[in-house]
Amino acid sequence: MPITLNENLPAFRILSEEGVMVMSPGRAAMQDIRPLRIGLLNLMPKKIQTENQFARLIGATPLQIDFQLIRMSDHESRNTAADHMESFYRPFRDVHATGEKFDGLVITGAPIEHLPFEQVTYWDELTRVFDWTRTHVHSTLGVCWGGMAMAWHLHGLEKHLLDRKAFGCFRHQNRVPASPYLRGFSDDVLIPVSRWTEVRQPEVDARPGLVTLLASDEVGPCLVEDPGHRALYIFNHLEYDSTTLKEEYDRDVAMGKSINVPRNYYPDDDPSRAPSNRWRSHAHLLYGNWINEIYQTTEYDLTRIGSI
């Protein structure tokens, strides 16, 4: 079954050309199916690239997905055309005002790691989003900074600045093979990492409400389950395209920034050679498992989400 996207959204054409099943809202309405309603709160500057990455993974399951794009209400994107934002995104204040509910919500990362959470211009509204998910979203997935921010707000789990950027592809151990979110996973998984901050395993372990599912000896916890809030936090980037780390590296080099070559990404760590994607299958597994777990446990009547 397909993911439902506005036919004018760039992702509609891009994913169609890749063979991903996509459907317009009008055509979807003709099917007698209750689609899963999945929102993307997109905090990344490159909105279109991020939309494509998550829609590609969320739309790869056998279920029909109604994909909704959400933005912070008063934060204007400087990297995405205003008409794109106006056409395809709704501010959170409008979503909140309607009282609508979602089966799932993805909260992306944001390139503001160096700031204390409370200094982020939209922090107050973002904390309202976190609190709102408890009654209006069946399952929430916080990615990178978005996951760290949610874990800080709900659990007081600190993020720590790193001396050097954790940058490259790192091996992660499957710590809970029986988890439904890790169904089909190998014992170890290669995952792209791109961050200047970390959360620390002893501090995760000190919070009884959190369970680490994937972790690396080199770059720490990656996937943490928060059953009490029906949430997952993934601090690294299984959603990344094959060339995303290259684009980040090339950008920083062009700007004259001091940046290390992403580890274990280019063949022989040689940036003159083309990187290959060695994480795509596990990306599809994780997001497919997340969608399946939502499907198995969500309410058929969306209005009942959060009422029990």
The set of catalytic residues is 144, 237, 239
For the stretch 205-214, what's the b/e string if a residue is b when 16 or more beta carbons lie within 10 angstroms of its beta carbon?
A: eeeeebbbbb
Report the distance separating Cα 242 and Cα 174, nearest Å.
23
Q: Are 41 and 108 in contact (CB under 8 A)?
A: yes
Q: Are 71 and 77 in contact (CB under 8 A)?
A: yes
Report the distance separating Cα 119 and Cα 97, nearest Å.
26
Report the distance separating Cα 306 and Cα 302, nearest Å.
9
Residue at token pair 């997340």: 290
Region of residue 238 (phi > 0: left; psi between -120 and 50: alpha; otherwise: beta): alpha
Name which of 245, 289, 287 is nearest 269 in CA terms. Answer: 245
* Alpha-helix runs per DSSP H in 137-177: 145-155
Report the distance separating Cα 159 and Cα 162, nearest Å.
10
In this structure, is the dihedral angle defined by the CA atoms of residues 161, 164, 170 and 175, taken in order, positive or negative?
negative
Q: Are 162 and 108 in contact (CB under 8 A)?
A: no
- Other beta carbons within 10 Å of 75: 16
Q: Which pair of tokens denotes residue 201?
A: 């395993």
